[in-house]
Amino acid sequence: MLGCVIREDTSLVLCTIEKANQLINRLIEQNSLDQIKTLVIDELHMIGDPSRGFLLELMLSKIQYINEHISVDNKIQIIAMSATFPNLKDIADWLNARLYITNFRPVEVKEYIKFGNDILSPDCTQVIRKITLNNQTSQVRFDRLGLFQLISETINDKGSVLVFCPSKDRCEEYCQMMMNHVQTLLEQLGQRLNFDQIKEYIPEQYREEVHPLFIKLMEKGAAYHHSGLTMEERECVELFFKQGIVKVIFCTSTLAAGVNLPAKRVIITSMKQGMSDLTNIQYKQMIGRAGRYGYDTEADSILVVQNANEKKKAMELLNRKLERIDSCLDQEGKGLSRIILEAVGTKIVQNSTMMKQFLKSTLLFNQYASQKMILWNELHILYQMTPVSGITFRVQWDLYHRIFRNLTPNELQICQQIGIKEDFIVMFGMPGGQRNQGFSRDVIFNSQNPIKEDIGLASSITDFKAFAEVNKELITKMRHVRFYTTLLLKDLLSDEKQEDVQQFYKITQGELQAFQQKCSAFSSMVVTFCHELKWWNMWNILNQYMDRINFVIQEELEELLQVKQFFEKCIQIKNVIDVPKARAIYEAGFTSTYHISKARPADIMKALQKTLVIQRQYSSNIEEMFKVGTTEHSSATITKAEEIIEAAKSIQRKKNLKKAREILKKKQEWLKQQKQAEQLNASKQQQQYEMI
């Protein structure tokens, strides 16, 4: 391939994402896209990479759109592969592809955690073995992690090692620390080559490009590999590692994907990659370099941790499911702009109608389209009704993590959609890691946007998009705190006693009342917003949840909820009356069980209908249907009203009987007191008579 032109005698083109996108653009402009019959994408999970993922999605979207408008014979076949893509069905639906999944691995990789001198199981409950330092390994200075012991074990077993480091500087530091000891070990095993022999292995086209000092380094059997090396130097390191000349490579995560190297052991030296925490997808990619078929029959990976906090994070990392991969086309604004410009520039689209169709070919559109019905999940609905900021109580991060681990699969799906990540919760649950930090409005903005007046989030930030760009970590914190308060609101609406909610979340009664008021005000704004935009579907759902938020139990409802206790304890029936229904009956003027017992079923039914989830029949004029609305199950409502009245009468009869007993008891006590008084008077008169 020359530039972006495919020669006629070319049957296979291997290229990067960037080059492939350029090539497809050129072929589209030349009306020669029919030269491509099959497009193979390896490492498909790169579509979620913040820096390059949008290009991969852009390229596939163009192919998808073009495939929809050409004959079957000319369609381009897409074959995509990944070992670490959890939500593969999303991609299969997007590409309209058949999905093939296999868990087969020809060489099993055993995962371990190294803490001190102990090699632990992934859940840290079992010590697999203890590392005993010998004379040679103990002589390695500054090897605080005990890396050489792990390296020497593998080399003695005729294997090779990949050591993943958090930065380029650390790669070179570890390599310099270990290279002479690796050289000595190889000399003892008779596996070392000299400078001239190594130079002969270098391809001729690279010999002038590779620095002699770098060759001297590889002579010792160790090398480093990162983006600071030239392409020729990196390829030489990979070549020598495959040939067994280099036994140890100290590398960054750039070697974790797409490079087939025969490592018997993978060592990960840090829970960090650059400035960011190690993700579970990065971890899986790294350990995937171990145990390559045809080279090894067994392999292992060892994650090195240095303290109890890292040990806890490592245990979470190894036992966590892969995080969902989503489109990053809308991140930082460059993806959508690029895809629109390329669509116009290559003349794929020529008007607004075609542009809409083209954008529907993106993964971004397909993922958003598939998420529409998720709003019907109660937790997601309540999230929309929870205030974005202004919460003054402290977040209990340990409690937060326990709740998160017990969420249902549907609730976890909501977490994925709104960006709630377990590793973030775990990080803030660490001692010293801003643990239990309160996120009031002042705390949130005190470091990067000091605001002296309490004027609220919306009015204090004039350009929220620009603010979010600069304060990404802050926005992430706010999102997680908001979801925590959503969980609190969910418990508050599930008929839990306020005292139990306060105790569980460790907040005061005043903080809980303030939170209820904020939720009530915020939900009212959201519902009004939907109504003004004529989002009738959303308005209908959220409006009823606004009522539920406003119906949170207060003292005046305690007597009405005796009906609920009557059904649950005496008749073993649940959900006949709850907090929203009690509030509706109270607002209708029936403020006690006495008033309910004297009411007509139709009046109680009318109050109950305010809390009934309205089910609507879809028609061609859906907006009018949502405006007017129809209430079904009225017969069930009248029956429930009659049950509530009968329960109120039963409670009232018990009250009347209890009251009668109390009156009788008081009368008996009064008679007893009267009798005692008469006896006392009689006794006094007798004493006076005897004195006379």
CB hemisphere CA count around 145 (13 angstroms): 22
pLDDT at 197 (0 to 100): 72
Q: In whole angstroms, give the CA distance from residue 549 to residue 690.
A: 78
pLDDT at 425 (0 to 100): 86
Q: In whole angstroms, give the CA distance from residue 459 to residue 65.
A: 42
Q: Which residue has the higher pLDDT, 333 or 677?
A: 677
Crossing angle of the two packed helices 498-505 and 472-492, in degrees rounded to 10: 150
pLDDT at 642 (0 to 100): 72
pLDDT at 128 (0 to 100): 93
| pLDDT higher than threshold 80 for residue 608 | no
Confirm if 249 and 240 have CB atoms less than 8 A apart: no
Q: Is 301 exposed, middle or buried (0-12, 13-18, 19+ CB in 10 A)?
A: buried
Could you report the per-residue pLDDT of 248-281, keeping only the tens digit for each?
999 998 787 667 787 899 999 999 888 788 888 8
Residue given tokens 């609190």 in the structure block:
488
**What is the full DSSP assignment across 299-339?**
EEEEEEE-SHHHHHHHHHHHHSPPPPP---TTGGGHHHHHH
Q: Which residue has the higher pLDDT, 395 or 141?
A: 395
Torsion of Cα atoms, 262 then 150 then 315 then 413, to 10°: -10
pLDDT confidence band for 209 (50 / 70 / 90): confident
Q: Is 388 exposed, middle or buried (0-12, 13-18, 19+ CB in 10 A)?
A: middle
Confirm if 122 and 312 have CB atoms less than 8 A apart: no
| pLDDT higher than threshold 50 for residue 448 | no
363, containing H or E segment: helix 363-370
pLDDT at 444 (0 to 100): 35
Confirm if 457 and 388 have CB atoms less than 8 A apart: yes
By percentage, how much of the chain surpasses pLDDT 90?
A: 15
Confirm if 237 and 263 have CB atoms less than 8 A apart: no
End-to-end CA distance of the chain: 141
Sign of the Cα pseudo-torsion (134, 139, 144, 150, in order): negative
For 124-138, 350-364, 407-421, 481-495, which range has the lowest pLDDT when averaged over its residues?
A: 124-138
Mean pLDDT rounded to a whole number for the chain: 77
pLDDT confidence band for 629 (50 / 70 / 90): very low
CATH code for residues 109-319? 3.40.50.300
pLDDT at 552 (0 to 100): 58
pLDDT at 389 (0 to 100): 77
pLDDT at 166 (0 to 100): 92
pLDDT confidence band for 43 (50 / 70 / 90): confident
- 687 Cβ contact list (under 8 Å, min separation 6): none
Q: In whole angstroms, give the CA distance from residue 129 to residue 152.
A: 16
pLDDT at 447 (0 to 100): 33
- The domain segmentation of the chain, as residue ranges, is 17-85+336-359, 109-319, 371-534
pLDDT confidence band for 247 (50 / 70 / 90): very high
Instruction: Give the mean pLDDT of 625-652.
Output: 58
Could you report the per-residue pLDDT of 486-497, keeping only the tens digit for each?
999 888 887 667
In degrees, rounded to 5, the angle at the alpha carbon of residue 280 between the alpha carbons of residues 366 and 403 is 85
Closest CA to 475 of 570, 395, 383, 388: 388
Pick from 251-265, 373-387, 600-614 the range whose average pLDDT is largest: 251-265
Q: Which residue has the higher pLDDT, 568 or 114?
A: 114
For 190-194, 280-284, 508-512, which range has the lowest pLDDT when averaged over its residues?
A: 190-194
Q: How far is CA 401 from the centre of its chain?
A: 12
pLDDT confidence band for 609 (50 / 70 / 90): low
Strand duo 161-164 + 265-268: pairing: parallel
Sign of the Cα pseudo-torsion (375, 380, 382, 386, in order): negative
Q: In whole angstroms, give the CA distance from residue 686 to residue 628.
A: 87
Pick from 288-297, 306-315, 635-644 the range whose average pLDDT is largest: 306-315
Whole-number Cα distances in Å, 362 to 69, 186, 369, 497: 15, 53, 11, 47
Strand duo 222-225 + 299-305: pairing: unpaired
Instruction: Give the mean pLDDT of 33-41.
Output: 90
Could you report the per-residue pLDDT of 145-157, keeping only the tens digit for each?
889 999 999 999 8
For 109-118, 453-462, 506-515, 590-599, which range has the lowest pLDDT when averaged over its residues?
A: 453-462
pLDDT at 274 (0 to 100): 80
Confirm if 516 and 554 have CB atoms less than 8 A apart: no
Q: How far is CA 567 from the centre of its chain?
A: 40
| pLDDT higher than threshold 80 for residue 684 | no
251, containing H or E segment: strand 248-251
Q: In whole angstroms, give the CA distance from residue 320 to residue 304.
A: 18
| Residue 173 in tokens | 């530091």
Instruction: Give the mean pLDDT of 295-321.
Output: 88
Give the residues across from 113 on adjacent strands: 120, 303
**What is the full DSSP assignment across 97-129?**
---------SS-EEEEEEETTEEE-TTSSSEEE
What's the chain's length in residues?
692
pLDDT at 224 (0 to 100): 92
Instruction: Give the mean pLDDT of 287-311.
Output: 86
Could you report the per-residue pLDDT of 409-438, keeping only the tens digit for each?
778 878 887 888 888 888 776 655 443 443
Backbone angles phi, psi at 595, to 5 degrees: -65, -40
Confirm if 198 and 215 have CB atoms less than 8 A apart: yes
Q: Which residue has the higher pLDDT, 560 or 30?
A: 30
pLDDT at 458 (0 to 100): 40
- 369 Cβ contact list (under 8 Å, min separation 6): none
Q: In whole angstroms, give the CA distance from residue 40 to residue 371.
A: 28
